[in-house]
């Protein structure tokens, strides 16, 4: 007779987009084991992406950036040792390493859980820490890989991408939106990315938004909210057209000024998201918000917003891409360059027709 797990740990610390795309694993486990307590290890700066999720009991924050000093700072080394030792006291019956790296494997192993699941082809020999290894199709979508891990745990796979914006973050955004004079119907643009090869040219962003001015107004959208993380303010500023060029559309530069929780609230309340390959594209799926996504040296078939392939423009189509091709700035930039303003405008206009019909 199968004994159902009472305590489950998901190990998926980063990155933000990957955390968001792992939510179907959480939903699947909760559906199969409704009385189990489910915890999630996530990097501290991304914790708000899953904090407050109804299927999750608690978040275990991993201070990755602080622990980088473990080799030369004895205080940090002591903190890291205590952090890892606490995992062995969690009394987990089941641990799933959804990250597949050496550090996540160590976390899984430290739990001493009777069942420790990982992909059999995990990088950095992460599979060594698992006692149940799962074959995952590298040519398949990342989300489908998460669902295979759920199946290995005995859960029926549920491709449920739903995210939750906390009431506190929603209320804070509503206050800020009102103070900034942003109407309830607005467009979100996520143009920034830490990887140069994932960025679209600033001049193209400007031309696109200028061209779409009357279309946005016709769909009842008079405000464009530009988002981005800390340090990406300069990238975003270069992409925003001058007000005199925007045909009555107001632009609001909020890059660097919102938390993860607030960013989720902004996306949850938007009418449309226009994004490069970044976490906001995946968040839009989690909140059922229409989107248009721009991909270059990363493959939307495997890494794109789940179930939204038709709304992805791919400058790298027809090119053999490796998992880390996006880290090559020349290759990625060349592929993003292939995406034309006309293509983006046409796809956004198609999306706006659906918004206007609501």
Listed residue (77, 127, 83) closest to 105, CA to CA: 127
What average pLDDT does the segment 171-189 reach? 97
pLDDT band at 356 (very low <50, low <70, confident <90, very high): low
Residue 1 pLDDT: 42
Per-residue pLDDT of 65-78, as tens digits, reads 999 999 999 999 99
Residue-by-residue DSSP string for 8-46: EEEE----HHHHHHTHHHHHHHHHH-TTSEEEEEEEGGG
- C-alpha 60/C-alpha 39 separation (Å) is 7
**Radius of gyration (C-alpha) of the chain in whole angstroms:** 21
Residue ranges and CATH numbers for the domains of the chain are 7-152 (3.40.50.2000), 167-356 (3.40.50.2000)
Give the residue ranges of DSSP H helices in the chain: 16-21, 23-32, 64-67, 74-87, 102-110, 142-152, 167-180, 202-211, 213-218, 233-239, 260-268, 279-286, 300-303, 329-337, 341-356
Q: What's the full length of the chain, in residues?
A: 358
pLDDT band at 322 (very low <50, low <70, confident <90, very high): confident
Residue-by-residue DSSP string for 280-328: HHHHHHHTT--EEEEESSS-HHHHSSTT-GGGEEETTTTS---TTGGG-
Residue 59 pLDDT: 98
pTM for this entry: 0.95
């Amino acid at each position: 007779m199968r004994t159902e797990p009472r305590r489950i740990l998901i190990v998926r610390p980063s990155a933000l987009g990957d955390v968001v795309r792992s939510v179907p694993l959480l939903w699947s486990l909760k559906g199969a084991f409704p009385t189990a307590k489910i915890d999630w290890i996530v990097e501290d700066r991304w914790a708000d992406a899953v904090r407050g999720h109804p299927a999750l009991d608690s978040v275990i924050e991993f201070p990755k950036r602080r622990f980088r000093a473990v080799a030369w700072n004895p205080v940090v080394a002591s903190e890291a040792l205590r952090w890892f030792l606490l995992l062995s006291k969690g009394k987990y019956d089941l641990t799933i390493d959804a990250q597949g790296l050496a550090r996540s494997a160590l976390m899984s192993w430290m739990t001493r859980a009777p069942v420790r699941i990982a992909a059999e082809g995990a990088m950095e020999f992460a599979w060594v820490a698992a006692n149940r290894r799962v074959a995952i199709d590298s040519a398949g979508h990342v989300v489908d890989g998460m669902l295979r891990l759920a199946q290995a745990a005995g859960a029926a796979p549920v491709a449920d991408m739903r995210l939750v914006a906390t009431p506190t973050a929603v209320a804070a955004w509503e206050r800020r939106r009102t103070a900034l004079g942003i109407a309830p119907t607005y467009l979100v643009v996520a143009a920034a990315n830490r990887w140069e090869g994932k960025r679209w040219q600033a001049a193209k962003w400007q031309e696109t938004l200028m061209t779409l001015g009357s279309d946005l107004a016709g769909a009842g959208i008079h405000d464009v909210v530009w988002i981005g993380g800390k340090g990406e303010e300069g990238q975003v500023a270069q992409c925003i057209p001058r007000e005199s060029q925007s045909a009555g559309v107001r632009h609001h530069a909020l890059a660097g000024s919102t938390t993860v929780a607030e960013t989720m609230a902004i996306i949850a309340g938007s009418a449309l998201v226009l994004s490069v390959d970044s976490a906001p594209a995946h968040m839009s799926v989690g909140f059922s918000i229409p989107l248009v996504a721009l991909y270059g040296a990363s493959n939307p078939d495997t890494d794109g917003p789940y179930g939204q392939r038709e709304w992805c423009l791919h400058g790298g189509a027809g090119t053999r891409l490796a998992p880390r091709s996006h880290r090559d700035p020349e290759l990625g930039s060349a592929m993003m360059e292939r995406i034309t303003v006309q293509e983006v405008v046409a796809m956004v206009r198609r999306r706006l027709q659906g918004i206007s019909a609501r």
